[in-house]
Amino acid sequence: MSTRVVFDRPEALQDAHTHYCPGCGHGTTHRLVAEALDKLGVRERTIGVAPVGCAVLAYFYMNFDVTEAAHGRTPAVATGIKRVLPDRVVFSYQGDGDLAAIGMAETVHAANRGEAITVIFINNAVYGMTGGQMAPTSLLGQRTATSPEGRDAATMGPPVRMCELLNTLDRPYHIERVALDGPAGVRRAGRAILEAFRAQTEHNAYGFVEVLSPCPVYQRLSPVEALEFVRGPLSATFPVRAFRKGGLIVDA
């Protein structure tokens, strides 16, 4: 006799069927964001900003206002909303192609200004929506649609480490990298996302959480192998840890 497990749905999360691929980390992250907003009691004054990419339909799942932004311009849109409506809780939800490629300048300058927004950054080391092309975060040797023989450092450069880059700036209040590599990793991700939102709600400060996420389709792995990829090679290139807490740099 089978037993059906029923999970309580956060109020900030819609009851909707997912369009994400099996094994994708976006759905898990959506729930963690919703849980954080519920814990803080800020759902009704939250505004999310989603760009072009796998997260483009995030508004299907969020039970609060979500607006769209042009590819890479999410931090600029979030900045504008927060400055016009400073009483709102504003966050951007971005993938690695959006945040670390076309949106790199917007990302760095918003962090450098210390904008009072929260940034949720999904790093699955590949462009997911447009066909599996190489992303700024793709690993050395990783095969993608645009690096069929593997990423080559000599011609393509090494992976871009966003947490380490932003940690050189003075104004960010919270910077942390987490990994959706199993139950313990998911719980840690939930705590980090909550703290990043608290940076905004309690300190009017900038918070950034990088989420290492499985993408079985374009990592060319089974869902279980994709979790192992996150736990192994992806975490080896992008170490999971806190970089900035309470505005202070955390020693490695």
Number of other CB atoms surrounding residue 99 within 10 Å? 31
pLDDT bucket at 133, cuts 50 / 70 / 90 = confident
Percentage of the chain lying above the pLDDT 70 cut = 96
pLDDT tens across 75-84, in order? 999 999 999 9
pLDDT tens across 221-235, in order? 899 999 999 999 999
For residue 236, pLDDT beyond 80? yes
Cα separation, 23 vs 40, whole angstroms: 28
With contact defined as beta carbons under 8 Å apart, do 152 and 176 qualify? no
Mean pLDDT (whole number) for 231-251: 97
Q: Would residue 95 count as lying in a domain?
A: yes
Q: Would residue 98 count as lying in a domain?
A: yes
pTM of the shown model: 0.95
For residue 31, pLDDT beyond 80? yes
Q: Would residue 9 count as lying in a domain?
A: no
**What's the structural domain count of the chain?**
1
Cα separation, 230 vs 236, whole angstroms: 9
Domain extent at residue 163: 26-249
Q: What is the CATH number of the domain that holds 216?
A: 3.40.50.970
Mean pLDDT (whole number) for 89-118: 96
Beta bridge partners of 94: 121
Say what the pLDDT of residue 3 is.
60
Q: Would residue 225 count as lying in a domain?
A: yes
Q: Would residue 20 count as lying in a domain?
A: no
Beta bridge partners of 144: 147
CA angle 13, 230, 223 (to 5 degrees): 70
For residue 6, pLDDT beyond 80? no
Q: Would residue 14 count as lying in a domain?
A: no
CA nearest neighbour of 55 among 10, 9, 19, 14: 19
Q: Would residue 19 count as lying in a domain?
A: no
Per-residue CA distances from 185 to 49, 167, 227 (Å): 25, 22, 11
For residue 131, pLDDT beyond 80? no
Q: What average pLDDT is seen over the chain? A: 93
pLDDT bucket at 197, cuts 50 / 70 / 90 = very high
Say what the pLDDT of residue 1 is.
53
Cα separation, 249 vs 242, whole angstroms: 9
Q: Would residue 1 count as lying in a domain?
A: no
